[in-house]
Copies of this chain bind each other. A is one copy, B any other.
Amino acid sequence: MSKKIKLGILGGGGDSLIGVLHRVASFINDNYQIVGAVFNPNFEDNMAFAKQIDIPTDRIYKDFDTLIEEELKLPKEDRIQVCSVLTPNFLHFPMVKKLLENGFNVICEKPMTTTYEEAKILQATMEKSKTVFALTHTYTGYPMVRQMREMVKAGAIGKVHKVDASYYQGWINPIIHDKEKRASTWRLDPKKAGISCCIADIGVHAFNMIEYTTGLRIKSILADFNYVYDDNPMDVDGTVLVRMDKHVKGLIRSSQIATGEENGLSIAIYGDKGGLRWEQESPNQLFVLSDDKPLQVYKPGHGYNSELSLGGTKLPPGHPEGIFDAMANIYLGVARAVRGEAYNDGEFPTMLDGVRGMDFIESTVASNKQGNVWVDLH
């Protein structure tokens, strides 16, 4: 009998790109099989999609509650073990909560919830359960991001004194400058998209990248948003000054109006002994800087990398792996955790990352609203 982990999927049907990303990631390391799902709220679409991707349809449920109900009727060994939550943001909280309460392990897309309060509730729920929870800050799955984390931890750049992370995209440009379009896209409607657009969607990735790679906590922030038009109620661009402490500062830059930029997540970390720079669009290069030695370019798969990094590479150096492989690395870490195998800290982002992220989003919105003042995170 297969020892593959039984995977359930919520959302991600139809043309969903995030659905493809998670599904492929689950396959890559031979660890998961999809056994149940609610891909779409509409049952017909749901079934059609299951057929399209050739998943057995016996456990394609009409809705989330039915999934829970029916799965719980199954003997434990047949039941969904991990459920991936890829639904619209506002559904993350109720779904994850119920999943955790019923003992399902969860892989959740970000943002984890729509409020910090919800995030804290999920955290408490998880602590009471004995479940594994992973938040898919996908970019932490790249081998060179993992290498950054391990190098900082090992002291390769000394004491960190400056960070600069950015996430620049330009996709909203053709929308924001068109009065009709900006009034009609759900992404710019606070009722549908929550309190923030740019910061919640991408700024939070840059925030997470800083905390993931440096191991430090951001203590306070000062944010300035750009709405571009008076009739637009949502941030499409935001710069955030951050402080780890009085003498460790940095910034987070995020934009959806950086016209022509595609998926420009980047991070630079400077310490008293060296610096590190990485860019998502060239994920297989990590630049290692020093005062007086030649610039070094680390690449995946070489023996000089850390165990955490090497664990995320499947082929020898020079064979580019990409974002599907990064996400697959997160799924691999979760598989190990679910199976009770040993795994390294850093193999997947956790509930704490989710709580921190929501704290960050709410704090930046507050800072901007109050006139760009410093706001402490919890």
A: which residues have CB within 8 A of B?
2-4, 17, 20-21, 23-24, 27-28, 30-31, 33, 51-54, 56, 157, 161-162, 164, 168-171, 173-174, 177, 222, 224, 226-230, 237, 239, 241, 247, 249, 251, 253, 255, 257-264, 268, 270-275, 280-284, 288-299, 302-304, 314-325, 372, 374
Number of copies: 4
Whether A20 touches B297, Cβ cut-off 8 Å, given contacts A28-B27, A275-B170, is no
CB distance from A202 to the nearest CB of B (A): 11
Chain B residues, CB < 8 A from A268: 168, 258
Task: Select from chain B the residue with minimum beta-carbon distance to A52.
Answer: B30
A-B residue pairs, 5 tightest by C-beta: A260-B289, A263-B318, A262-B318, A322-B322, A27-B27
CB distance from A54 to the nearest CB of B (A): 5
Looking at the complex, which one of B3, B21, B54 makes contact with A30 (CB distance below 8 Å)?
A: B54
The CA of A230 and the CA of B246, in the complex, are separated in Å by: 9
- Using A162-B257, A226-B249, A296-B296 as known contacts, list a sample of 12 further A-B pairs with CB atoms less than 8 Å apart, ordered by residue number in A: A3-B51, A30-B52, A157-B259, A164-B258, A170-B291, A171-B316, A230-B247, A251-B253, A257-B270, A260-B291, A294-B304, A372-B372
The CA of A372 and the CA of B170, in the complex, are separated in Å by: 29
The CA of A289 and the CA of B262, in the complex, are separated in Å by: 10
The CA of A21 and the CA of B171, in the complex, are separated in Å by: 33
The CA of A34 and the CA of B268, in the complex, are separated in Å by: 43
The CA of A11 and the CA of B197, in the complex, are separated in Å by: 49
Chain B residues, CB < 8 A from A251: 239, 251, 253
Looking at the complex, which one of B31, B290, B374 makes contact with A260 (CB distance below 8 Å)?
A: B290
Q: Is the CB of B2 within 8 A of A54?
A: yes
Q: Is the CB of B320 within 8 A of A320?
A: yes
